[in-house]
Chain A
Amino acid sequence: MASPESAVNGPTMTAGAASKSLRNAFGGVIAFIILVLIGVLAFSIRLFSVIKYESVIHEFDPYFNYRVTQFLSKNGIYDFWNWFDDRTWYPLGRVIGGTVYPGLTLTAGTIWKVVNSLNIPLSVETVCVFTAPIFSAFASWAAYLLTKEVKGPGAGLTAAALLAMVPSYISRSVAGSYDNEAVAIFALVFTFYLYIKTLNTGSLFYATLNALAYFYMVCSWGGYTFIINLIPMHVLLCIVTGRYSSRLYIAYAPLVVLGTLLASLVPVVGFNAVLTSEHFASFLFLILVDRQCHLSSSYYLLVQVFIIIHVVALAYYIKGILSPKMFKVAVTLVVSVGLAVCCAVIAILIAVVASSPTKGWSGRSLTLLDPTYASKYIPIIASVSEHQPPTWPSYFMDINVLAFLVPAGIIACFMPLTDSSSFVILYIVTSVYFSGVMVRLMLVLAPAACILSGIALSEAFNVLTRSIKFQLPGIAGNPSIAEENGSSTVVAPNDIPKTEEAAKEKPAKKNRKKEKENVEKKPTPSKTEKRLLVLPLEASVIAVLLLVLLGAFYVVHCVWAAAEAYSAPSIVLTSHSNDGGLHVFDDFREAYSWLSHNTDVDDKVASWWDYGYQTTAMANRTVLVDNNTWNNTHIATVGTAMSSPEKQAWEIFHSLDVKYVLVVFGGVVGYPSDDINKFLWMVRIGGGVFPHIKEPDYLVSFSNLRMLTSQTYLFACLYPKRDGQYRIDAQATPTMLNCLMYKLSYFRFVETDGKGFDRVRRTEIGKKHFKLTHFEEVFTTHHWMVRIYKLKPQRNRIRGKTKKSKSSRSVSSKRDVRGKRNPWH
């Protein structure tokens, strides 16, 4: 077919179909290579933590996941489902199999198994460390697919590149950050992609895949409720705006049926999800669940929209078979009957919800609606920093320039508004709201921001480069070849049409600028119109440069964030000395290692709940409370013990079989997130359950404060509305200076420098010389960051002492008090 002339005249030939399909094929290959590179980028930008520190599991929750994965790889899947963990929440224990989202664990376990069955000896730890980077590569590919469905491959590639390095996501998925979010973001974006794909194609195949992807998401993260609310909302939006189609039905109905069935297979969700009354909150807005209230889900909206879509489908069907007149009659009939039924249903629902004790609102759901709710009423939720509302700088830190590009992306989505672009708009709007409630949910915002910014950037480049392209030859003085593509040298077109088609079928056509649906609806006119919308050449060149600059700034910021801000594993701290040397603070592992080798296997270690997961995973010792804060009373007991005087604390700990008490103390090296700074939460949570712990006892009131000249302490200025401040200096209350936490932290501290100057609180401590009567120091780490004390054994009773009568009286009187105070007696 190829004529020799065309080959000869190649350079001046008008771009034709043959060259175009070839260009598409090249575009496909280039897009593929770009995607691979994006995957590599997403993976490698997360390796800063391994390079700068080491290949190690990070922070707190990842240690639990790691421990579960170890258990899974050692004992197999059935033992994992039935695992009752007796090494935590002593003496209650925890049913791990039924209370954990198994997606991450099963994923890493499967990877480990596959790799080992190929005789590649990777340790479980290595697999766990690198799971998150691998899945962030997947997530950026999923973002490509999703954006491609919405606005074409160009936008898709841009969005994928943006998502590959968005700091918000990096913060949760650096190598070693082995947490649910790492795989869940991939699952989230991929589920959305499949939903959009189904919506665009109306294929039942994709609908089924969508249900499976949703199932994976349910397995992975409590954030699945986001999906199960967003999709019904979108369906509702489509119906309301008159965009109902059979494709919408296929996209939604199978997802509801299959997805719900599959979701109920996950023990942690189960059928409870359908039955509990927590749905009501989600009817208004959805919830991100985490460790504690894993049952909250939002089947209500789901089911309601399910009904609505059927009604609408029926209506459309009837409309098809009836004459318009008959249809009007039918509509009035149906509407009146429907209204009556709806009223009845709503009445029943209200009755059900009103009869349930919590009125259908869980604490965490309320946090979403009223951000101040938790800090007022649920200290255990408020005590976690990631549950606090974010500040403006944190938006800039986490999504950077995307924050400015998102509005442009929203505008681009409105021209034209399609089913898929309306979904993206809905996604960004809801996620922006939720990110404003909790810092954690910034993570859900990140993909949406990337997708919209990708669309915005791609559209902007599209307009600008088109303007440039249109005008450049104009300057050359030959408008007739304005459309000529300088690079379109034409090789003889392929003689086999089939391969050409195959090339055309390739998903990515990078150079394709028009979007499919757009063309379908209004083919040529809009195009010629667009051709006319041309910006001045200088302006567009400058704009392109500025956009490139913006992109460069984003890249620089992301790399900085990945390298400096988010790659610290938090169990190892480093500081740079003045001469440029690196000093490593490895105290946590020192302490855990000591516990693991030098205490008995069955010894119980008490510490504040933050260190629970790490203690069980690294030291392999039984703990009272851990980061799965499911039992508030138990945590309050530990809080009470920590804020009680030594003797009472000893009694509480002794009654719980505790042998060692671990406290984290930063006063020597200036490590700010130590137990003294967390102490207000111990008091608050303890006092919330055991009323004899009264917060005012620990506070120095403002009236006293005013008399002070130097004010260099303030470690609890987070809550200025409280009447007073926690302080540990000379003005501190006696209750504070005598509580266990103070004593264990500052035991013999004064001897380090002679004054007892606390480098975190920047003050001298109040009570300097004291002795411990019920505890003895057994280990303190190199920088004093972790101190471990042992409970002294009970004193032998000495018979026939002269003070017998006196002591027995005092003991009995104390016991009365204790009976009330100690919940374990």
Chain B
Amino acid sequence: MAVGIGFRRRLDFLLLVIAILSAPVLSDLILSKVERQIDLTSQIARISSTIKAENDGSSSVSEILLAIPELQAKNLAYLTARVIEGKGKARTSGLALTVEPANPKGMPPALSFYSIVLPKPLANGDSVTLDVLAAFTHSLRPFPEKITQADIHLVLFQDTGHYLSPYPVKVQSLAVKLPQARIESYTKLDNTKTLGSEIKYGPYENLPPFSYSPIAIHFEANQAFAVARELVREIEISHWGNVQVTEHYDIVHGGAMSKGEFSRLDYQSKPQIRGASAFKHLVAKLPPRAHSIYYRDAIGNISTSHVRGDSKKTEILIEPRYPLFGGWRTAFTIGYGLPLHDFVFESEGKRFLNISFGSPMHDIVTDSITLKVVLPEGSKYFSVSTPFAVQQEEEIKMSHLDIFGRPVVVLKKANVVPEHNQFFQVYYKFNALAMLMEPFMLITGIFFLFVTCIVYVHVDLSISKSSASYLAKLQWDEVRATVQQIQNIINQCLSTHEKLEASLRDLSRTGDVQACKAARKAADGLLKELSKELKPLIAFLQSTPPAAHILPKVEELVAKERELQERLMAKHSTIVDSYEKKLGGKETENRVASVQQKIVALRQDIEDLMEYIDEI
């Protein structure tokens, strides 16, 4: 099969070469020196090229074309170019230049072109040094495509040994960096040598435009082939002080499919050999001061994760529920909160969120990312600025007690690599008062609840105001009010009794007979007044039929109270008498004893009656 594929590829390139040869020379640019380095240590193929271009023609040149074979172009995730100034140690790279797809005429069809717009046009004889970085995903093809648990994971990488360019190249070299020293096979051109886990091609000199020599490298790769087929990142801003990030991952092991059985025994006893192609954990680098981190999936919390944090970053190591072998999938969610002041700033009356775009996972390829920035309710005039092109949409999210919903900026991008973890900005206008709306709403709601309760209690909701039962109820209410009044009066009587008793005690202490008599007089007067007050109430009760069953009790109560009064008065006078006669304490007690007993019994009765009436 390998031969077949290789052959087809060759054929493609043969056609390509034929096409290339017939292509016209584009401009008078010459690439005087090209150094390429292909980094294959992770699942992402990163090709960084240092290109020194010279203008050999008469007219000035403002853009440089990059050619990428279409087969690779569809895997191209990231492409950037910078101008390098200075030499040796003083090299500094300038700003990123604009790179855009170009479609120059008369070029071979199997190539995709990107043009780098130079900061200033290159005049005749001038030269510029560029640093071009391209990252390709899914370009390490597992070969064989299916392996068992015990097999070594081998991948195949194909590229060109000579720099493919529409311009002639004077001097060039290529270095391929591999993860392990174990190389199954690689294409040998002239001037090829290996150095540990590195393969070097070149230097080659004076090659014409579109020179192409395919190379294929077949090597062992045991790094994590974690591919997020879909990633939904939701960033929710709360002006109460939090930026909540929630990331839903759908992960697949993008390496060779595993076939046959999976033996836990083998995996546990010899994880380096029998589980080399699997990955056990992923590492995410979160911003510093990330808090409330969680890691879970649809069926609950996943307990295997570790968090380490310092002032520069928060590192979280997460283990999926099971080790992922080739083709195995898993899905999970991580979430964390970030302090608001680290990410949301204010300038020129506008607020803006400044946060990184891609997944915080280490060396993960994201096939499709959906980034949702949920702005607080009431935000207006929002705009997005991203360092690269993304698809942009808007939607509304209803969340905690929202009325209008929160505006959501949705950004979508396919084929994302860690290089895309650049800061982007979402500008919006937000009135700080708007964040008080929800508490205010809650307060209002509870207030109205109470008001409703009050109104309900106080409003008479009966439908018919003339029905018998309603009238009866009204009457009953009146009866109860009356009974209440009677009770109050009785209480006052009782307190008066208490005063009489107190005066007796005073008497025994001070011996002031006159004061005691005065107290009795006052009490007597008060009690009479009270009994006068009592009369109309009793009369009312007698006249109302619903009070019939309560009346006897009330009457009994009143009668008992009166009796108690009499007894008390008797007792009082007896004691005062005996005090005046200077009788001994014992004798007095004997004289009072019978009355005292009655008084206690009566008091008991009155209390019981009161309690009983209370319960009605």
Tell me which of B269, B299, B403, B600 contacts A592 (CB under 8 A): B299
B263 touches A497 (CB 8 A): no
B491 touches A594 (CB 8 A): no
B499 touches A5 (CB 8 A): yes
Tell me which of A12, A56, A483, A514 contacts B498 (CB under 8 A): A12
A516 touches B402 (CB 8 A): no
A16 touches B494 (CB 8 A): yes
Given the interface pairs A9-B495, A497-B481, A776-B261, the reply to whether A119 lies near B400 with Cβ below 8 Å is yes
Tell me, yes or no, whether B609 is within 8 Å of chain A by CB: yes
Q: Of the 9-residue stretches B40-48, B324-332, B579-587, which lies at the interface with chain A?
A: B324-332
Nearest CB of chain A from residue B398's CB, rounded to whole Å = 5
B481 touches A54 (CB 8 A): no
Tell me which of B300, B330, B402, B484 contacts A501 (CB under 8 A): B484
Q: Which of B589-603 contact A (CB under 8 A)?
A: 596, 599-600, 603
B615 touches A519 (CB 8 A): yes
Note all chain B residues with C-beta closer than 8 A to A778. 261-262
Note all chain A residues with C-beta closer than 8 A to B495. 3, 5-6, 9, 13-14, 16
Given the interface pairs A20-B611, A523-B612, A597-B329, the reply to whether A776 lies near B260 with Cβ below 8 Å is yes
Determine which residue in A523, A524, A527, A776 has the highest number of CB atoms from chain B within 10 A of its CB, and name it: A524
Tell me which of B302, B398, B498 contacts A13 (CB under 8 A): B498
A784–B262 CA distance with the chains assembled, in angstroms: 13
Note all chain B residues with C-beta closer than 8 A to A780. 262-265
Tell me, yes or no, whether A233 is within 8 Å of chain B by CB: no
Q: Which residue of B lies closest to A516 (CB)?
A: B615
B300 touches A16 (CB 8 A): no
Note all chain B residues with C-beta closer than 8 A to A13. 494-495, 498
A17–B610 CA distance with the chains assembled, in angstroms: 6
**Range, interface on chain A:** 35 or more
Tell me which of A5, A524, A584, A597 contacts B328 (CB under 8 A): A597
Q: Mark B171-196, 1 if CB is under 8 A from A, else 0.
A: 00000000000000000000000000
A492–B436 CA distance with the chains assembled, in angstroms: 43
A779–B300 CA distance with the chains assembled, in angstroms: 20
Tell me, yes or no, whether A751 is within 8 Å of chain B by CB: yes
Tell me, yes or no, whether B433 is within 8 Å of chain A by CB: no
Q: Which residue of B lies closest to A13 (CB)?
A: B495
Tell me, yes or no, whether A528 is within 8 Å of chain B by CB: yes
Q: Which of B225-262 contact A (CB under 8 A)?
A: 260-262
A523–B615 CA distance with the chains assembled, in angstroms: 11
A16–B491 CA distance with the chains assembled, in angstroms: 5
Note all chain A residues with C-beta closer than 8 A to B481. 497-498, 501
Tell me, yes or no, whether B160 is within 8 Å of chain A by CB: no
B402 touches A119 (CB 8 A): yes
B615 touches A6 (CB 8 A): no
Tell me, yes or no, whether A1 is within 8 Å of chain B by CB: yes
Tell me, yes or no, whether A777 is within 8 Å of chain B by CB: yes
Note all chain A residues with C-beta closer than 8 A to B264. 777, 779-782, 784
Q: Mark A569-595, 1 if CB is under 8 A from B, else 0.
A: 001100000000000101001101110
Note all chain A residues with C-beta closer than 8 A to B321. 586, 589-590, 593-594
Tell me, yes or no, whether B613 is within 8 Å of chain A by CB: yes
Q: Which residue of A lies closest to B484 (CB)?
A: A497
Given the interface pairs A5-B499, A493-B488, A597-B331, the reply to whether A752 lies near B477 with Cβ below 8 Å is no
Nearest CB of chain B from residue A662's CB, rounded to whole Å = 14
B491 touches A17 (CB 8 A): yes
Note all chain B residues with C-beta closer than 8 A to A523. 608, 612
Note all chain A residues with C-beta closer than 8 A to B491. 6, 16-19, 493
Q: Which of B269-297 contact A (CB under 8 A)?
A: 269, 297
A24–B613 CA distance with the chains assembled, in angstroms: 13
A3 touches B322 (CB 8 A): no
Tell me, yes or no, whether A500 is within 8 Å of chain B by CB: yes
**Range, interface on chain B:** 35 or more
B494 touches A20 (CB 8 A): no
B330 touches A15 (CB 8 A): no
Tell me which of A18, A121, A594 contacts B400 (CB under 8 A): A121
Q: Which residue of A lies closest to B553 (CB)?
A: A523
Given the interface pairs A118-B401, A502-B457, the reply to whether A589 lies near B608 with Cβ below 8 Å is no
Tell me, yes or no, whether B12 is within 8 Å of chain A by CB: no
Q: Which residue of A lies closest to B403 (CB)?
A: A119
Note all chain A residues with C-beta closer than 8 A to B297. 593
Nearest CB of chain A from residue B351's CB, rounded to whole Å = 23
Note all chain B residues with C-beta closer than 8 A to A528. 604, 608
Nearest CB of chain A from residue B245's CB, rounded to whole Å = 16
Tell me, yes or no, whether B605 is within 8 Å of chain A by CB: yes
B499 touches A777 (CB 8 A): no
B303 touches A524 (CB 8 A): no
B399 touches A590 (CB 8 A): no
Note all chain B residues with C-beta closer than 8 A to A119. 398-403
Nearest CB of chain A from residue B575's CB, rounded to whole Å = 14
Q: Mark B303-329, 1 if CB is under 8 A from A, else 0.
A: 110000000000000000110000011
Tell me, yes or no, whether B492 is within 8 Å of chain A by CB: yes
Note all chain B residues with C-beta closer than 8 A to A17. 484, 487-488, 490-491, 610, 613-614
Q: Which residue of A lies closest to B557 (CB)?
A: A17
Tell me, yes or no, whether B170 is within 8 Å of chain A by CB: no
A20 touches B303 (CB 8 A): no
Note all chain A residues with C-beta closer than 8 A to B612. 519, 523-524
A16 touches B490 (CB 8 A): yes
Tell me, yes or no, whether A479 is within 8 Å of chain B by CB: yes
Nearest CB of chain B from residue A372's CB, rounded to whole Å = 39
B330 touches A121 (CB 8 A): no
Note all chain A residues with C-beta closer than 8 A to B497. 14
B263 touches A6 (CB 8 A): no
A500–B331 CA distance with the chains assembled, in angstroms: 63
Q: Which residue of A lies closest to B609 (CB)?
A: A524
A433–B302 CA distance with the chains assembled, in angstroms: 44
Q: Which of A658-691 contact B (CB under 8 A)?
A: none
Note all chain B residues with C-beta closer than 8 A to A584. 303
Note all chain A residues with C-beta closer than 8 A to B607. 14-15, 483
Tell me, yes or no, whether A21 is within 8 Å of chain B by CB: yes
A823–B610 CA distance with the chains assembled, in angstroms: 81
Note all chain B residues with C-beta closer than 8 A to A5. 492, 495-496, 499
Tell me which of A9, A24, A752 contacts B265 (CB under 8 A): A752
Determine which residue in B399, B497, B612 has the highest number of CB atoms from chain A within 10 A of its CB, and name it: B612
* Apart from A501-B484, A589-B300: 11 A-B pairs, beta carbons within 8 A: A5-B499, A6-B492, A13-B498, A16-B487, A16-B494, A20-B610, A501-B477, A501-B481, A586-B321, A748-B263, A779-B262
The chain B residues found within 8 Å of chain A, CB to CB, are 260-265, 269, 297-304, 321-322, 328-331, 398-403, 457, 477, 480-481, 484-485, 487-488, 490-492, 494-499, 501-502, 596, 599-600, 603-605, 607-615
Chosen A-B contacts, 27 in total, with CB atoms closer than 8 Å, are A9-B498, A9-B502, A14-B603, A17-B487, A17-B491, A17-B613, A18-B491, A56-B300, A121-B398, A121-B400, A480-B599, A483-B607, A493-B488, A498-B481, A501-B484, A523-B612, A528-B604, A571-B300, A586-B304, A592-B299, A593-B297, A594-B321, A597-B330, A748-B265, A778-B262, A779-B262, A780-B263
